[in-house]
Structure 1
């Protein structure tokens, strides 16, 4: 078996036997590397005042972790600047928040060149390379310039907007257009893939780009077992006891303007205004670890949410009941699993999200005999798979969210069980191990593919699982993932 080489902005080095990676990308990469020889390359998280030093290598079993530091100037311009103030808002449909700076774009390309140079020195001829997310979009082009002819795939963990939006990025061909150098570009949903296909048709008409849909998932069975055990912990039991028999609503999001937390608060306010019977009988716990604190937009959002939380508690609360609980710190996956299982309703209402694994984790954590209800944004990638089981809402319609919360709180056990079964069918058919295997199978051409003209694909409206698509002339070659497809869930 060829070695799998993964490149991502951050590298999650295992901290001990049985320790679970923290984030969705880390869980996905960890699953892909499990059971095979591999190399995981990326930023170490270290920042120095001097120029970046060499790569620090850590060997753990069959996997080598290769860690590259960054200078403070490069970190500020590449990560805080171009990645988080240009690409992040761009891909999340917020071009009004995009703060383009040509110097920061140069830093983005400079860091990518540094990473490509370091990585190229470690690549073997038969390695398969898998690059993750928007931080490293130019990586394939830069590796090709250094003579590498390996299979190189890319997966975008965040949404992909339309070509009209992508085209607003100054010098977009130098950045977004670099995706044309990969052997396979993977997306969370068919809508994301179709948006990029149209970008290629418009801006890269002479380049063949193989694209695919691979909805990322979780370690479903493992997470369920964690939840069954963690719900009995002293911490979770203390929270349940503090509710006085009332119901618990939970939201878990990184503090980010894309997550829709402000509209969610307005929806909860609407619920208490129009359904006073819930006063004293429901508590909303919002866990929102702070991120990107050096970016002004995030500081402003944090201040607004804290103010809104205080206003709502002051208006509706009483000495014996605090309607909103707001926590700005991280919890372990084990603790979160227990909290999900102890919750009656989960609010996952982002304005835009590539997938949103909180929705899937909440469902996997539930007691099948008394499951909670999920209120889910139609603009989260997870909605394509979970629409049959969740209460799907428009995250911009606060009254609709409020009505859905009320419906979820009143929902019968029979209805919750029916929806839970539908959702779990999707999760069990596409866990994280199946996701990585599907991507690598298509990237390494380990299965036969049927060629279908793009015109026929468009006429059909939606593609079938396991079929690859190509135009009769070199433009777009699009490949569907095997197994559960977003539009089929």
Structure 2
């Protein structure tokens, strides 16, 4: 039987023409193999429904429905109130509840059964992200011997933080049921290896793989990217300015889903510090686009209020009748408008306190005019900083450092801007979406097969 790719993620592409970074990255691989994409339906159900087909061409899309209780406890609860803050170094925000732990286990067990019902012996299984850490263990318990790969899109947690999990010793065991663990950066791989090194059940093999009890797992970094050509084409579209008649003379841009890991409060404070310290009468505008996210979670409600207060304070202090320093947009903006906003921006601020990769940094670079490029100001704690070393790198915890970087970016000579942009663009073009999926699947096909497979 021919090989088929089965992709599992929490979100599943909906509609006749789904879009998004992961869709672009996986489209060709799924289409070539007549593959299957399985994920959670956006609408809830009673939790007992069979898989629901929501698309068939060019690959099959199958959705399972969560109950409202599972949505609250598995998704908003354990996934996003425990694992998300754990992986983003915010243990102070973890909300641990027994119902969350139970729901997370139950949903992973149910999804494993749904996969086991449709898998064939030659299928490759590719699991995505923190919602499904234990999914391979559940599949192995059901007798599934296929090659199973896992890719974590967010940072790998630090060894010391794993003790905050309800059963810390089970985390390494869960991951060791995968044949391949893919991570965003070399730093993430180092943290994962540190976890295995600290576990007496693990040993390191001469080929770099990890033997854990009777299993062998491979680890490797696969930095995810974007379709740079497609994003550049959107930036070059001949369309009216997204600002309409209110186009600022110079502006900086930030584009982030509203999340405490993005460093937005200090970013706003840094722009205010820059305005305080500027020695000329320049009046740049800072445009921050931050669509809402996980609004039912208390930590997200708190940061929404904090940003509104800071933006109001900064504009109250510095605004003039014909100039608003911060334009804070708390809703989605069409992708084409974002691309054109990036192209005209003098600088982009990416100041995450922890980030798996951060594709906004790559989109900004791809959108630039190479003859007159803007400047990327990039947090050292974003995965993109590992290779995009010619960005202006900053410490997102240091407001003065970021304020200095804003001034440096706005005053940077053309020749230096071109040099930095050229170096960053090479990274973007070498880590495109097609290359990312190709490299991962090649590694999965060639890694050591599971015992009995």
The TM tier, using the shorter chain, reads: over 0.9
Counting only pairs closer than 5 Å after superposition, residues 403-414 of structure 1 correspond to structure 2 as 403-414=404-415
What residue number does 2:265 align with?
262
Give me the whole-angstrom Cα distance separating, in 2, the residues matched to 1:2 and 1:218.
26
Counting only pairs closer than 5 Å after superposition, residues 194-209 of structure 1 correspond to structure 2 as 194-203=190-199, 204-205=201-202, 207=212, 208-209=216-217
What residue number does 1:295 align with?
297
Q: CA RMSD in A?
A: 1.8
1:190 maps onto 2:186 in alignment: yes
Match of 1:115 among 111, 114, 118: 111
Does the CA contact (< 8 Å) of 2:13 and 2:19 recur in 1? no
Q: Give a deviation string over 1:92-149, Cα, whole Å, max 9, x none.
A: 1111111111221110010111111111111111110000000011111111111111
What residue number does 1:393 align with?
394
Kindly state the Cα deviation for residue 330 of structure 1 after the two structures are TM-superposed. 1.2
Give me the whole-angstrom Cα distance separating, in 1, the residues matched to 2:31 and 2:372.
33
What residue number does 2:325 align with?
323
What residue number does 1:233 align with?
239
Give me the whole-angstrom Cα distance separating, in 2, the residues matched to 1:243 and 1:276.
24
What residue number does 1:67 align with?
63
Match of 1:96 among 56, 67, 92: 92
Match of 2:340 among 329, 334, 338: 338
1:41 maps onto 2:13 in alignment: no
Normalising to structure 2: TM-score of the pair?
0.92
Kindly state the Cα deviation for residue 172 of structure 1 after the two structures are TM-superposed. 2.4
Kindly state the Cα deviation for residue 58 of structure 1 after the two structures are TM-superposed. 2.9
Normalising to structure 1: TM-score of the pair?
0.86
The farther-off stretch of 51-60 and 125-134 is 51-60
Q: Give a deviation string over 1:443-474, Cα, whole Å, max 9, x none.
A: 0018xx9xxxxxxxxxxxxxxxxxxxxxxxxx
Kindly state the Cα deviation for residue 200 of structure 1 after the two structures are TM-superposed. 1.2
Structure 2 unaligned blocks of 5 or more: 204-211, 449-453
Does the CA contact (< 8 Å) of 1:243 and 1:283 recur in 2? no
What residue number does 1:485 align with?
none
Give me the whole-angstrom Cα distance separating, in 2, the residues matched to 1:129 and 1:298.
33
The change in CA–CA distance for 1:315 and 1:384 in structure 2 (over 3 A counts) is same
Structure 1 unaligned blocks of 5 or more: 450-489
Kindly state the Cα deviation for residue 167 of structure 1 after the two structures are TM-superposed. 2.7
Q: Give a deviation string over 1:221-276, Cα, whole Å, max 9, x none.
A: 111112111xx3214362xx5245x2111000011000000010110010000005
Does the CA contact (< 8 Å) of 2:16 and 2:55 recur in 1? no
1:426 maps onto 2:448 in alignment: no
Kindly state the Cα deviation for residue 335 of structure 1 after the two structures are TM-superposed. 1.9
Kindly state the Cα deviation for residue 165 of structure 1 after the two structures are TM-superposed. 1.4
SS of the aligned residue for 1:249 comes to strand
Match of 1:178 among 164, 174, 177: 174
The change in CA–CA distance for 1:318 and 1:26 in structure 2 (over 3 A counts) is same
What residue number does 2:223 align with?
215
Give me the whole-angstrom Cα distance separating, in 2, the residues matched to 1:320 and 1:135.
47
Give me the whole-angstrom Cα distance separating, in 2, the residues matched to 1:81 and 1:193.
27
What residue number does 1:253 align with?
256
The change in CA–CA distance for 1:30 and 1:14 in structure 2 (over 3 A counts) is farther
Match of 1:53 among 40, 49, 52: 49
Counting only pairs closer than 5 Å after superposition, residues 348-359 of structure 1 correspond to structure 2 as 348-359=350-361
Does the CA contact (< 8 Å) of 2:257 and 2:293 recur in 1? yes
Give me the whole-angstrom Cα distance separating, in 1, the residues matched to 2:252 and 2:271.
10
Kindly state the Cα deviation for residue 278 of structure 1 after the two structures are TM-superposed. 5.0
Match of 1:273 among 268, 271, 276: 276
Kindly state the Cα deviation for residue 52 of structure 1 after the two structures are TM-superposed. 4.0
Kindly state the Cα deviation for residue 26 of structure 1 after the two structures are TM-superposed. 3.9
Kindly state the Cα deviation for residue 34 of structure 1 after the two structures are TM-superposed. 4.6
What residue number does 2:451 align with?
none
What residue number does 1:224 align with?
232
Give me the whole-angstrom Cα distance separating, in 2, the residues matched to 1:165 and 1:378.
20
Does the CA contact (< 8 Å) of 1:20 and 1:333 recur in 2? no
Q: Give a deviation string over 1:267-314, Cα, whole Å, max 9, x none.
A: 0010000005355x2000000011010001110110011111011101
SS of the aligned residue for 2:8 comes to strand
